Structures are given as structure tokens and as C-alpha cells.
Amino acid sequence: MIEVKDLKKGFDGKPVINGVSAIFQTGKCNLIIGSSGSGKTVLMKCLVGLFEPDSGDISYGGKDFTSMNEEDRKILRQQIGMLFQGSALFDSMTVEQNIMFPLDMFTDDSFTNKLSRVNEVLDRVNLKEVNNKFPAEISGGMKKRVGIARAIVLNPRYLFCDEPNSGLDPQTSILIDKLIKEITTEYNITTVVNTHDMNSVMETGDHIIYMYDGLKEWEGSNKEIIFSKNKKLNDFIFASEFLQDAKDMRQLEMKGKIENNHNHG
């Protein structure tokens, strides 16, 4: 579990996050959504320690991350995996070397064991025969999957995904969402996803935080979001007529299910 208390962060005197508190639960896909400039990327970067917050606390499993010294942070960071927006794979390394890198750096395993672990995670993200390919030789969707494989190779307790669907076609996006969701449940890890993708919100959002202008505007699940009366949230999520119609249909469908349950009960 990751807990954030009254987090504030600004740049050049301009506040970007203005006192956000939240709890990211273990075994669930915790989504941070919001329009561009709402502070979600800054919030995620504060969570993983790439930005130092101006004030507030972040704790990982009860351990205060903000006041941790560099050595303790290093140890904690080995339990964190992150999938970046652009995948951030090392250009000069093959797929296999990219995934093996954290194992090389932090374990003393034999090459055979490390290779077997690499193949195991590649298999987990449904990638085959790409071991010797360079990042430039694979597609965007494959890069994301390699990024996920690298993030989970050390069996992390926390997984962060920064816009995992950006630049992907809808079908590949669904595959990536499904993969993140499955990995979260399978390894019982705390997953935090920063996304714009409405399909991800509806399909994987066990716990959603909507950011608006540096503040947490709304919090709930993908089921609750359908019935939310928050205007800012509705304007953001169901921005088009098509999405508004889809929302109405889903509302009717869910109400029907509830009524059915009552009748059967």
C-alpha cells in the first residue's frame, strides 16, 4: 500500500500539486486520471522519487519515503518497477539485455538462471523470439510489453505505469491494459497507472483518482464513475457525444443488473 498525505509540489513558485492525499491499495489497479497539466505526471514522479515534494508525506507499506536516506531509498527502489510512456528501453541493448539488466545489477545468479527468468517474464507478457532484437527493431506495443517485462523481472511490490497506452492502437491498448491488470492480481502488487485512456478507466480502474488543477477532484471505482454527478469529471471522461451515449447505456445496463439481482433475491 502507498499512502500520500497532503502532498505539495511546485515549480518556480507555481504550485502544480496543491495538497493531494490518497491511498493506493495493494492488489488493485489504482488509476490517476486528469487532463494535461492537471499534475498527474508530477504526482507520479513524486511517488517514485524522481521529484522531491515541497511538503507532505509519501509512505510505502508504512515506511516514510520522503524522509528516507539515499541508501534506504535504493533498497526500496529495487521493489519498484516502472513502465515509462516511451518505454525507456536502453537503445544500445537487445531486448534480452534490457530485461536482464536489473538482474545483472542486483543479483548474483548464474547466467542460465537469469536467462531463464528473462524468458519467463517475456513469456508472461506474450513475447516470443524477440530476445536478440534491439528496441528500434520492434513495434510500439512490443516495446511496452518489454518495458513491463523489465519492470516485473525483479518481482516488484509496486508497479508504476506512465500512460501505458499512449501511441498504441485500440486493440494493443486493450492487450496492455489486460496484461497490467492480470499482473497486478497475479503478483498481488500495488499498481499505479497514469492514463488518459477511457477504455483503461472503465476496464481496469479498481480505484480511480481524478486530478484537476493540482487537486484531487474525485475518487472512486470504475463502477462509481458511471453514476458520478461531478461535472468536471463527467466533462473530462465523457467528453464526446459517443462517450456520453456509452455512459448512458452502461448506466441502464448496470441498473438493470441491480434490479435483476433484487428480483432474484
Partner 1 sequence: MFSKPENLKMYWKELMHQCVEIGIRSLGIVIIISVFMGAVSALQTAYQLVSPLIPLSTIAQIVRDTVILEFSPTLVCIVLAGVVGSKIAGELGNMRVSEQIDALEIMGINTKTYLILPKILAAMITIPMLVIISAVLGILGGKLASVATGIVSTSQFDKGLFQYFKPFNVLFALVKSYCFAFIISSISSFYGYYVNGGALEIGRASTKSVVVSCVLILLMDYVLSSLLL
Cβ proximity to partner 1: between 49 and 220 the closer is: 49
Least Å distance, CB 48 to partner 1, is 5
Cβ proximity to partner 1: between 93 and 246 the closer is: 93
Cβ proximity to partner 1: between 59 and 78 the closer is: 78
Give the closest residue to 34 by CA, choosing from 246, 232, 244, 250. 232
Written as one letter, the residue type at 258 is I
DSSP-assigned beta bridge partners for residue 190: 158
Least Å distance, CB 80 to partner 1, is 6
Cβ proximity to partner 1: between 38 and 98 the closer is: 98
Q: Is the dihedral of CA 209, 212, 213, 217 positive or negative?
A: negative
| Residues in CB range of 156: below 8 A, 6 or more apart | 78, 79, 80, 81, 189
Q: Residues 17, 5: contact at Cβ < 8 Å?
A: no
Least Å distance, CB 55 to partner 1, is 22
User: Which spans of this chain sit near partner 1 (rule: CB under 8 A)?
Assistant: 48-50, 70, 73-78, 80, 82, 84-86, 88-91, 101-102, 104-106, 160
**194/210 Cα distance (integer angstroms):** 10
Least Å distance, CB 76 to partner 1, is 8
Cβ proximity to partner 1: between 100 and 127 the closer is: 100
Cβ proximity to partner 1: between 82 and 122 the closer is: 82
Least Å distance, CB 84 to partner 1, is 5
Assign residue 163 a region: left if phi > 0, alpha if psi is -120 to 50, beta otherwise?
left
Q: DSSP string covering 126-178, please? A: T--S-TT--GGGS-HHHHHHHHHHHHHTT--SEEEEESTTTT--HHHHHHHHH
Least Å distance, CB 74 to partner 1, is 4
